[in-house]
Structure 1
Amino acid sequence: MLRIYVDAATKGNPGPSGGGIVLVGDHLHEQIHVPLGECSNHEAEFKVFIKALQLTIEKKLNNQTVVIHSDSKIVVQTIEKQHAKNLLFQPYLKTFQQLEQNFALLLVKWLPENQNKGADSLARQALQKYQ
């Protein structure tokens, strides 16, 4: 099983944004920070979520049970309901639906912010580095 933790940080809303991704599995613990460009805080959360799934596929880690954790209720609820009222979020949902087909089993779980400190720290590092 692979666990992925994602979080985003944005300076201003919208503003420069960074994302943090933590991959944890058998003999694997990888920490990644990525620039997300200029976007709103919610868009940044979607972007890092999608980036984490793309990285998982690129690294060929998608042939096992994958649980992706986010502290963004908007992202998790959009995925769970398979519906985005906000027009800005619809492309992210569509991309998720396309990526999901590449996974043996993909579970999306919300977790409280205080349990996502690793990904949060990486997101803040990315924000500082890529401003």
Structure 2
Amino acid sequence: MQLYTDAATAPDNHQSAAGILIIDQGQQHQFKQVLPNSDNHTAEFLAAIAGFKTLLDSYGSAVSVFFYTDSQIVADSVAKGYSKHYAVELATLLHLQDQCQLVVTQWIAESENHGAHQLAQQGLHLKH
């Protein structure tokens, strides 16, 4: 199973939204979700959290997941199990990941995350 997440944040008012793309046996499942107003880094963590909540709610915990994010800080924090500025968000994310059988986190370039990015942009427009 593959999980792609991305966040979009409006620079003028900090409105944020998440794009979540789950690929299960070749089938795409698309979700967009309004997030609390935040800066972009916080929104990336919140998008990842929303992605894992959606995944666990939809498929249960008996899943192995390739998790793709274009947020370097999210990928690095997960790999290290530590974040100075986003400790609460990281703890929540790691707790959700621990409920899965296996999670492989992979940073990808923004250009490879179009599906989740488009969903996040669409989610941003839900707030207006």
Q: TM-score range by the shorter chain?
A: over 0.9
TM-score (norm: length of structure 1): 0.92
Task: Indicate the larger mover: 49-58 or 10-19.
Answer: 10-19
Name the count of aligned residue pairs.
128
- Structure 1 unaligned blocks of 5 or more: none
**Moved segments of 4+, more than 2 Å:** none
Please say if residues 13 and 39 of structure 1, whose CA atoms lie closer than 8 Å, have aligned partners that are also in contact: no
The Cα of 1:129 is off from its aligned counterpart by 1.5
CA RMSD of aligned residues (A): 1.4
Please say if residues 9 and 127 of structure 1, whose CA atoms lie closer than 8 Å, have aligned partners that are also in contact: yes
1:83-98 → structure 2 map (5 Å cutoff): 83-86=82-85, 89-98=86-95
Distance 1:114 1:27, change over 3 A: closer
The Cα of 1:98 is off from its aligned counterpart by 1.6
The Cα of 1:26 is off from its aligned counterpart by 1.2
Residue 52 of structure 1 is matched in structure 2 by 51
Percent identity over the alignment is 28
- Structure 2 unaligned blocks of 5 or more: none
Please say if residues 13 and 41 of structure 1, whose CA atoms lie closer than 8 Å, have aligned partners that are also in contact: no
Please say if residues 45 and 93 of structure 2, whose CA atoms lie closer than 8 Å, have aligned partners that are also in contact: no
1:1-131 → structure 2 map (5 Å cutoff): 2-12=1-11, 15-26=14-25, 28-86=27-85, 89-131=86-128
